[in-house]
Amino acid sequence: MDTLLITGGAGFIGSNLVRRVLATSEARVLVVDKLTYAGRRENLEDVLGDARLELVVADICDRQAMSALFRDRRPRGILNLAAETHVDRSIDGPRAFVETNTLGTFELLEAARGWLATTDDAARQAFRFLHVSTDEVFGSLGADGLFREDTPYDPSSPYSASKAAADHLVRAYHRTYGMHTLVTNCSNNYGAYQFPEKLIPLTILNAVEGRDLPIYGDGSNVRDWIYVDDHCRGLLEVFDNGAPGETYNLGASCERSNLETVETLCDVLDEVLPARDNGALAARGASSYRDLMTFVDDRPGHDLRYAVDASKARDALGFEPATDFETGLRRTVEWYVANREWCESAQATGYRRPRLGLATS
């Protein structure tokens, strides 16, 4: 039985990926997660009883621990999702992003390289190192165009710069050492288990509590959205069938301005949890969730637009997203409204959704 090593498997995308692997294959899943504020044991609570799942609490920057895992578990491959991901936090404190995203990826590559040197040729040929990255490494688009796999990198934030550096390392290990590496650059994800610092869960929880719904600048910044379950399907397509050394963009061709996204969320909330049934809105004198929308100072270095060309993954691997934005958004709203206990637990360390990322010097 194959063992797949999934780093960051207790995080948002990682936990959804773990569920998909367990549901669609017979593989064992070894989750390595540091269990930071966004990587939480509770994100895997419904599958921790599966005998094929093992959770190891460890830091990917710990070379000795990572080398021991490769040596003892002998995984068929690794899907690296361990990362600090929130741009606003990277503005306030970039060190953690460089350490986890860049140095952590380096340590994983070295641990994998050291283990592969002890294996036979068949194991080396079967091994895959899939590094999960972001479209933010490409910088900002204007009104037209799409990010392609060969678009030059031009990161704007400490977060995207740390991911860009990791991408380059992963490619270098293929070219220098012949390791079978793969890189995916994905557009913005949304869905269940996302920590409420990101736009969609932040907006949902603020709305339910009758709090202001902050929109950066004039709300014209555009993001390309993909439902997390679709992204996870794409990752497994790349892992199983992608060509070693290649990069694949994963996206759903779903561009929305931040203002449009918040407005759509408000409209879905008006149906899922009508304003008349929400005392928090009545206390604000609001008749609709849209009444809570407010514009705030923009983020420093805020990229104008992201949009990816995912035709390579479609043509080479047959990957097609299955969830349209409105359907995925409704599922997401319904999940957060129905799982308030999870939401409170996620914020139990004292996080109350403050504005981050305003540091300018």
Structure tokens at 185: 């650059």
Catalytic entry in 84, 88, 136, 149: 136
- How far apart are the C-alpha atoms of 336 and 342, rounded to whole Å? 8
| 136 in catalytic set | yes
Q: Which residues of 186-223 are buried (b: 16+ CB within 10 A; e: fewer)?
A: bbbbbbbbbbbbbbbbbbbbbbbebbebbbbeebebbb
Structure tokens at 314: 């479609």
H/E stretch holding 54 reads: strand 53-57
- How far apart are the C-alpha atoms of 271 and 285, rounded to whole Å? 18
Which residues fall within 8 angstroms of residue 18, CB to CB, at 6 or more apart? 6, 9, 29, 31, 44, 47, 53
Catalytic entry in 135, 197, 229, 255: 135
Partnered with residue 78 across adjacent β-strands are 5, 129
Catalytic entry in 33, 59, 107, 159: 159
| 135 in catalytic set | yes
Closest listed residue to residue 332, CA positions, set 211, 210, 220, 205? 205
Closest listed residue to residue 3, CA positions, set 74, 68, 65, 66? 74
Residues 101, 166: contact at Cβ < 8 Å?
yes
Residues recognised as catalytic? 135-136, 159
